[in-house]
Amino acid sequence: MEQLQTTNDAKSVIHLLDQLNTQNSAAIWIPSLGKEIAFKQMAAKHQKDVIRTLAGTKYFPSALVITLHDIIFDTLMDDSVEKENFTTIDKLAVLLGLRAHNVSDTIELTEVERVDGAEIEGEIKKKISITDHLTRLRKAGDKIKPNTPAKLSVPGLEVIVSLPKFGTEYKFEKYLHDQLRANSDAGADDIMATVFINTLTQFIQSVSTNGQTFEYKDYTPDDCVTITQQLPQRMLQTISDELDPQSLPAQKFTKVPFTQDKVKYIGQIPIDGTFFLAE
């Protein structure tokens, strides 16, 4: 009768597989660093985490964001890199690089629209090479760097906003996730309102009023959200208007222009629960 292997044997297999995932690493370009960094090959556990996330995504919109952050944390091989200081642009570059290396270099665009705004007749399908897309962005240089932080003012108040750093986004998304889990019976309107305020807060670096400046990095997410909710409506609208310009460099990673039959289109790379699934 064949005997089952011991736990020690299983640990040996796990160790060997971890070595394999390390050996089959991918060199992924990090825009803010201007160089490539090694990332381990993804393991089945990472796909398991994504699948587990999907069950709660409808109610906990931050769950997938957190899982994707955790995958980046877990696969980054260079401990000397301060990953918390990665930009949102870096995050997208890494996710696309991991997808190309671990699943497929080809991905189908979604939400295809005509650049001229005309209605599309029929269905337009387009698949792109992620590697080619990243190569074009890499050549773009300064065009994909985060914009300079913006100083926004209304009488008696100044707010500085910028594209959030990787660590800031992660901290606030975890806070949002915990808030929504604690209030699991919240309706869609409450969820949308909570997500809206949380998103605005992620972009705020500091608030200055009455000769004093308050840096959001010095406060808990809960305190930051509370401060944001007390900002004048006029300032809230001003911040909202600034989000698109600040997010534009990051959007270049997920919005892809292409021409088909002499018509110019733009499509979306779907960073969702299907992102790490083969087509």
Angle between helices 166-182 and 88-102 (to 10 degrees): 80
Q: Is the dihedral of CA 43, 46, 52, 58 positive or negative?
A: negative
Q: Helix, strand or coil for residue 104?
A: coil
| C-alpha to C-alpha distance for 64 and 68, rounded to whole angstroms | 6
Burial 135-157 (b: 16+ CB within 10 A, else e): eebeeeeeebebeeebebeeeeb
Which pair of tokens denotes residue 109? 């665009």
Per-residue pLDDT of the chain (279 residues; tens, 9 = 90+): 455 555 567 777 777 777 766 777 889 999 988 899 999 998 888 888 888 777 655 555 688 888 999 999 999 998 888 888 888 899 999 999 999 999 999 999 999 999 999 999 888 999 999 999 999 999 887 567 777 899 999 999 999 999 999 899 999 999 988 888 777 776 777 778 888 999 999 999 999 999 999 999 999 999 999 999 999 999 999 999 998 888 888 899 999 999 998 999 999 999 887 888 776
Which pair of tokens denotes residue 48? 């398991």
Among 203, 176, 90, 173, which Cα is nearest to 137's? 90
| C-alpha to C-alpha distance for 69 and 173, rounded to whole angstroms | 10
pTM: 0.85
